[in-house]
Amino acid sequence: MATSKDDMQNSEFTFRRFEDGDHKWGSMNDKIFNEDTSYKCPTYVHRTPPCQGSCPSGEDIRGWLDIVRGIEKPQGDVSWQEYAFQRSTTANPFPSMMGRVCPAPCQDGCNRNDVEDFVGINAVEQFIGDTAFKEGFKFAAPACGDKKVAIIGGGPAGMAAAYQLRLKGIGSTIFDDHAELGGMMRYGIPGYRTPREQLNHECQRIIDMGNIDLKMNTRVGKDVAVADLEKEYDAVLWALGCKTGRGLFLEDFDATPNCVTAVDFLEQFNKGDMKYTANKVLCVGGGDTSIDVVSVSRRIGTLKDFNENPEDSATGTTVHGDVADADKKACDSVVLTALFPQDQMTAAEHEVNDALIEGVNIMNEVMPVEIIKDANGRATALKLVDSKFEGNAPVAVEGGKEYIVECDLIVSAIGQTGDMTGVEDFDNGRGLIDSDKNFQVPGKTGHFVCGDIIRPHLLTTAIGQASKAADSIESFLNNIELGKRPKVDVHHFSLEAKLEEVGKSPEAYDSEGDQRGTSASNYAVHNYEDRSNAQVISTDQMFLGHFEQTARNVRTEDVPNSEQVLGHFEERMNSFTEETAKAEAERCMSCGMCFECDNCVIYCPQDAVFKVKKGEASTGRYVDTDYAKCVGCHICSDVCPTGYIDMALGE
């Protein structure tokens, strides 16, 4: 009900917005940018750093680098090493493996590239994972409810999903048709890249959380019916991976006996069933898988009196026993062909360089056009021509050269699909399974999917999808409608969670009483805005002049040359020392988050910006502003190296 005219005239007001005579809107242009005064005061804005925005797993990279360098400190008796491990594994339970083999899109996105060189994120992650292995760090396991999920596949996607579900108090059973866990980390990548002792530990650490059962050597669709899974489990997650290699798009590839796929070749080696190969190996590819094929070939070599069909061991028809070193020799020829120039190959740059050191011959910008065969129908050579890309497809260069490369074994490493035998109802016609934006299988209620079986990509992509699928499964089991995922869909730093961790959570909100002058109240975090769900910070919002040029600390590698490579199965990638890990973490620019440099405090001419009292501070709450002193000069924002301060608070 409106206030009466009499009440309006006779009441004595206790609050007035305007002074007498101040009843007209003035021009804001007269106030903004008046000399050095903008009438805007600082507010502290958290944004996602591009390393994390580029990471398909969505790791809080900035967070665990800040822990390693000593800015963010653990509580209680937890060591900083374990605290960094805990933060790293929020998104990815395989730091030791991923620190070694991930091609590191995070490093491509790193803002430090605009200063001199990216931060060695992978190397620090390997240090975190290897330290966790040495120290025996474990995962915390909350109480588990009565819901259970069937996970089809024990590779990185399936294992990561089991881990994320278990953190939510949801148990699972993993079905896998291999004898051991690990998927492509075990059967697709050689042990000198993913050391088996560390791999076994990282898999077992997940199983040790409890309420994660295993059904190994069990194929769903053959040994177990899908209908039985639907009856016994509350949801089903398909994490099959893709283990059916694609052959070359050449006539008679599939019909030529000594033409095989990289998936088969590497699985037989990684199972220990292939101890040597052909004398002349040719692999067509250009990605990490093709590098593994040629690097393995250089290591296992061939027999001095080799007289068997090499495809038999590469496809599992023949199982090799132990072979004396004296009976072996290096392959006469190991060749890798790629459609792209060397600097555009999809394989990691250091993997390409290592292969060259090991004696692999790499032919770039060539395409295969014909398999040359003998009278018995066996391949004796591959014809290739110079090529270029037109319309996103390779074409022969007119007037280009033609090459005939002799070989005893041709290996195709141009991609792979899923094996849908027994589960054809889920096949989308391309040997894959369709997924919606929430990683549900369309038209299959209670069925979810993640990993390569959606679309073959990186291990880190499969791990990231597993986390999101676990979120969807949790909502499904609790009958919660699935909402839209955030624009920047990663594992964000939460100031609220950090304040709770350090015992400084805001007080309970009381809606009663006068709400004016709330800046002195403790029921909210003031002058702070979290835009990390929608924004990735770029260097144009930062003060790069703060950062001195500092050379990257590079991991050392033990790469054998062409004379040493035969029989060399030791790991190549050496882990950082603690000192080096800290030094490299120091290079992180902490984009989008305060890293406690004190610039804003030092340069504020009004002493308006001040450090939060030690007993009240936390990561993200290191400085505050006295708005009674602030004149809006924006110097604090200008000198903030990390882009954490915006002049965004109004008059």
Domains of the chain by residue range = 26-47+496-508+520-552+587-651, 148-243+418-477, 245-416
- Quick one: pLDDT at residue 524? 76
Question: Does residue 388 sit in helix, strand or coil?
Answer: strand
Residues 6+ apart with CB under 8 A from 77: none
- Tokens, residue 433: 């399974």
At 345-383, the pLDDT tens digits run: 999 999 999 999 999 999 999 999 999 999 999 999 999
Topology agreement, domain 148-243+418-477 and domain 245-416: yes
- Quick one: pLDDT at residue 196? 97
Q: Which of 347, 340, 373 is nearest to 294 (CA)?
A: 347
- Quick one: pLDDT at residue 27? 54
At 125-152, the pLDDT tens digits run: 999 999 999 999 999 999 999 999 999 9
- Quick one: pLDDT at residue 523? 78
511 alpha-carbon distance from chain centroid: 43
Cα–Cα distance list, 442 to 143, 425, 426 (Å)? 31, 12, 10
- Quick one: pLDDT at residue 17? 44
Domain 245-416, CATH homologous superfamily name and number? FAD/NAD(P)-binding domain (3.50.50.60)
At 461-500, the pLDDT tens digits run: 999 999 999 999 999 999 999 989 999 999 999 999 999 9
Phi-psi region of 286 (alpha: psi -120 to 50; beta: other; left: phi over 0): left
Q: Which of 329, 307, 328, 314 is nearest to 270 (CA)?
A: 314
- Report whether pLDDT(650) > 70: no
Mean pLDDT of the chain: 92
- Quick one: pLDDT at residue 6? 55
Alpha helix segments (H runs only) across 136-216: 156-167, 184-187, 196-207
User: DSSP class of residue 502?
Assistant: T
Q: Which band of pLDDT confidence, cut at 50, 70 and 90, is reported for residue 334?
A: very high
Residues facing 152 on adjacent strands = 175, 238
Look at domain 148-243+418-477 and name its CATH class.
alpha beta
- Above pLDDT 90, what percent of the chain? 85
Residues 6+ apart with CB under 8 A from 78: 86
Place of tokens 């077992």: 204
At 59-87, the pLDDT tens digits run: 999 999 999 999 999 999 999 999 999 99
Residues facing 225 on adjacent strands = none
- Quick one: pLDDT at residue 429? 95
At 239-270, the pLDDT tens digits run: 999 999 999 999 899 999 999 999 999 999 99
The arithmetic mean of pLDDT across residues 8-24, rounded, is 49
At 169-182, the pLDDT tens digits run: 999 999 999 999 99
Query: Is residue 573 a contact partner of residue 100, using CB atoms and an 8 Å limit?
Result: yes
DSSP class per residue in 539-572: GGGS-GGGPPP----PPPB----TTT-TT--S--
Cα–Cα distance list, 24 to 18, 19, 30, 38, 263 (Å)? 10, 11, 14, 21, 76
At 273-302, the pLDDT tens digits run: 999 999 999 999 999 999 999 999 999 999
Q: Which of 27-41, 365-379, 588-602 is least confident?
A: 27-41
- Quick one: pLDDT at residue 1? 42
Q: Which band of pLDDT confidence, cut at 50, 70 and 90, is reported for residue 446?
A: very high
Q: Which of 409, 416, 401 is nearest to 367 (CA)?
A: 401
- Quick one: pLDDT at residue 18? 45
Q: What is the 3-state secondary structure (H, E, C) of 456-485?
A: CCCHHHHHHHHHHHHHHHHHHHCCCCCCCC
